[in-house]
Amino acid sequence: MKSATSAEWAHREFGQAKLKDARWLARLVLVAAQAARRPAGKVTEVFGNDAARQGAYGLLESEDVTGEQVGASMFEACAKRCACEEFVFCAVDGSSVTVTDLNDDKDLGSIGTRKQGARGVKVISALTITAKGVPLGLASQVWWKRTTPSSKRKHRNRRRTEEKEIQRWLDTMERSRQVMSQHAPQTRLWFQLDREGDAWPILQNADLGGHWFTIRGNHNRRVLLKDGRQSYLRDVLAKQPAVPLYELQVPGAPKRTARVAKMAVRACTMTLDFRDKRTHKHFSKQVNVVLAREQGTTPAGEKPIEWLLLTNRPIATVEDINQIVFGYAQRWRIEDFHRTWKSGTCRVEESQLRSAEALIKWATILAAVAVRAERIKLLSRKEPDRPASDEFSPVEIRAITVLRFGKSAKKHLEAAQVPTLAQATLWLAQIGGYTGKSSGGPPGSVTLTRGLKEVAVAVRTLEATEEICD
């Protein structure tokens, strides 16, 4: 990826938005650039002066700019980044942006149950990830506003798929396929879905367009045997020989200890028997099934990792099976993205916007910022020896060096050597308050974002100084 300042990054992400008025397009790019420099959930925290703040509100409240138009530009930019990859993992997951609505008078929908009474908007996102585990961007997002709280509604089985929220999952996957076919036709998506994706409408359509899928099973589904008899998934898997133990790198997270998990794996090909409860129609689908269960490495107080994976990826070799397990582990990246977006770097749920459409536009911009923070974090870990110029512009590298080393920065700059991405990211995190091992691990998105805020100010100062000198 070509290096870029916040302004250049914003133009790359949102400069292709199909807006009728060029002035709105310029405003969108300016708003995104400032959000990247000073990410926060409240518009008032991102924009320091009245003119810029009113300009941002004008964009977010304008009927001439829709959330779909803002998102479409970001999805196109993501697909173009994917174009050089043979395949990319695509983690699909649902979430919500819940905001404060004490008087219940904002144009928002219900979140959760009636008892919870939360308000906001729902979203399903598709995050693309390289084969090495580095985020590339969002290929699609589908937003909606619930009209009634979630509940166990009567006659659920009488409704068509398009009348249920599961249709949003299908729409997200289809839109991801469409944007890739337009801008990265040679790149294959490998969808990664959690247990919410174990539904027959999704399994029936997950492989459309020749793309791959891996869906974590939530049901011990009925299977059809070759001799015409019926059985169940886990019963058939229990009879399969185990392949050699697979060592899975488990990143730390809330309620999950970082470790190398030893996974016992079994795999086979089965024919699943589905039934549409509305029409009572049966249909079948052949899939490969992988059962991966942690063995002997589970920390005290935690449950062992156990994944029942349904996929259309080949399982001809042990390497094939291990790649399926590794691929599903990349789904954790979207959980990291959600944390960075909602409560970490961007804090989108602190927004005070009053309409669903304005909130969606603002949340979409902040989603791009969150992915950028996650990308820098993970790229420095996965490809530490890459030159920092792959992700930072020359002026950003100068600003990072000056802020990190002060007066001694001159000798670093005079050396005329571009630091590695790992070095620049470490310096950036240290500017943001990272203290090394005492921080509990490698630099995270929060300290990196703090550093980016400081660097953004320094970049503007350096650029202004050069203009004066010229």
- Determine, yes or no, domain membership for 44: no
How far is residue 59's CA from residue 40's CA, in Å, rounded to a whole number? 17
- Determine, yes or no, domain membership for 128: no
Domain count, the chain: 1
pLDDT tens, the chain, 470 aa long: 444 578 889 999 999 999 999 999 999 999 999 999 889 999 999 998 999 999 999 999 999 999 999 999 999 999 999 999 999 999 999 999 999 988 888 989 988 866 677 899 999 999 999 999 999 999 999 999 987 655 555 566 678 887 888 999 999 999 999 999 999 999 999 999 999 999 999 999 999 999 999 999 999 999 999 888 999 999 999 999 989 999 999 988 888 899 999 999 999 999 999 888 888 888 889 999 999 999 999 999 999 999 999 999 999 999 999 999 999 999 999 999 999 999 888 999 999 999 999 999 999 999 999 999 999 999 898 889 999 888 888 888 889 999 999 878 777 777 667 889 999 999 999 999 998 865 567 888 888 888 888 888 888 888 777 666 65
Output the pLDDT for position 156.
67
Would strands 188-193 and 87-99 be described as parallel, antiparallel, or unpaired? Answer: parallel
- Determine, yes or no, domain membership for 409: yes
- Determine, yes or no, domain membership for 399: yes
Closest CA to 213 of 232, 197, 196: 197
Q: How far apart are the first and last CA of the chain?
A: 30
- For residue 164, give the amino acid letter: K
Question: The whole model's pTM is what?
Answer: 0.91
- Quick check: helix, strand or coil at residue 181? helix
Output the pLDDT for position 207.
95
- Determine, yes or no, domain membership for 402: yes
Output the pLDDT for position 6.
83
- Determine, yes or no, domain membership for 449: yes
| Dihedral-angle region of residue 120 (phi above 0 means left; psi in -120 to 50 means alpha; beta otherwise) | left
**Residue-wise burial string across 427-451, b where 16 or more C-beta atoms lie within 10 A, e elsewhere:** bbbbbbebeeeeeeebbbbbbbbbb
- Determine, yes or no, domain membership for 398: yes
Output the pLDDT for position 456.
83
- Determine, yes or no, domain membership for 404: yes
Burial class (CB in 10 A: 0-12, 13-18, 19+), 387: middle
Tally of CA atoms within 13 A in the half-sphere of 451 that contains its CB: 30
Query: Which domain does 453 fall in, by range?
Result: 384-469
Output the pLDDT for position 411.
74
